[in-house]
Amino acid sequence: MKPEILSVADFAGFDFALMETHFTVHRLWRADDPEKLLAEVAPRVRGIQTTGTATVSPALIERLPKLEIIACCGVGYDGIDVAAARRRGIPVTNTPDVLNDCVADLAIGLLIDASRGIARGDRHVRAGRWPKGGVPLAARVSGKRLGIVGMGRIGRIIARRASGFDMRIAYHARRRVDDVPFAYHAKLVDLAADSDYLVVIVPGGRETYRLVNEAVMRALGPQGILVNVARGSVVDEAALVKCLREGALGGAALDVFEAEPRVPEALWTMENVVLVPHIGSATRETRAAMCKLTLDNLVAHFAGRPLLTPVA
């Protein structure tokens, strides 16, 4: 008998056919009646497959008496109640490293787009407005000051990418990182005041909830651009809209949102804002690697081997 796995969230690019060669997979997100499905399979489920933005609550964990592992297809796992899993002795895995390059690439792409107005120019041409005049002058990227909020795996790669544009790099994190050559700011508001661009790449959760607040945005200033490739919860969206409307912040480029897929309508028509639908890891290559690592963790667990990327 194959171990039974509860899939709580779909994920573009996830190879469920490959997963089903090893496990019996119950797709909760596809069920017409999720409660009915849970009532039927809960006594037999031994593993959960989830994603970085889905929720695995204490109630769900307690409802699965035979649960042995929670495998998250994503580097972030703030939707999983890790404390509840730990109380049951259930390990949690994620998929670090395999998505670092693509998220860093997108961060730089968003930064350039927001600064140079690429998407804005595309809209201008497609609407047939070019014969009537061009778009406003944009801002140069090369040689500017980049502040990175978070200096973990992805933050380091963003810094390496940015160095190719001769940017002056500084960062904020919970503590100073000894093995990077960049200036450290203990206070985020000080980093923002010393930056032309602020790129956010920290985990979500209670510790970083609305870390980028109105004071930080105002310190970044009327020429500054905020780029968020972390979690929507890290940025105070109401304050963001306010600062953009007032001209207190120059622009923003956002891959993530507090209540995605719902995006504040106030942002839709702002020409100085770039909006994309959480596509940081959304390449064929990266999603395949994430799927494989998720599956490899599950296979390792049920084979009695050490987990590849445990987080708890």
Query: Hey, which residues are catalytic here?
Result: 231, 260, 278
Give the separation between CA 79 and CA 58, rounded to whole angstroms. 11
**What residue type is assigned to position 247 of the chain?**
G
Q: Which residues contact 128 (CB under 8 A, 6 or more apart)?
A: none
Give the separation between CA 194 and CA 205, rounded to whole angstroms. 26
How far CA 281 is from CA of 1, 34, 176, 198, 277, in Å, comes to: 34, 28, 27, 20, 11
Show the 3-state SS of the chain. CCCEEEECCCCCCCCHHHHCCCCEEEEHHHCCCHHHHHHHHCCCEEEEEEECCCCECHHHHHHCCCCCEEEEECCCCCCECHHHHHHCCCCEECCCCCCHHHHHHHHHHHHHHHHHCHHHHHHHHHCCCHHHCCCCCCCCCCCCEEEEECCCHHHHHHHHHHHCCCCEEEEECCCCCCCCCCEECCCHHHHHHCCCEEEECCCCCHHHCCCECHHHHHHHCCCCEEEECCCHHHECHHHHHHHHHHCCCCEEEECCCCECCECCHHHCCCCCEEECCCCCCCCHHHHHHHHHHHHHHHHHHHCCCCCCCECC
- Copy the structure tokens of residue 130: 């070019």
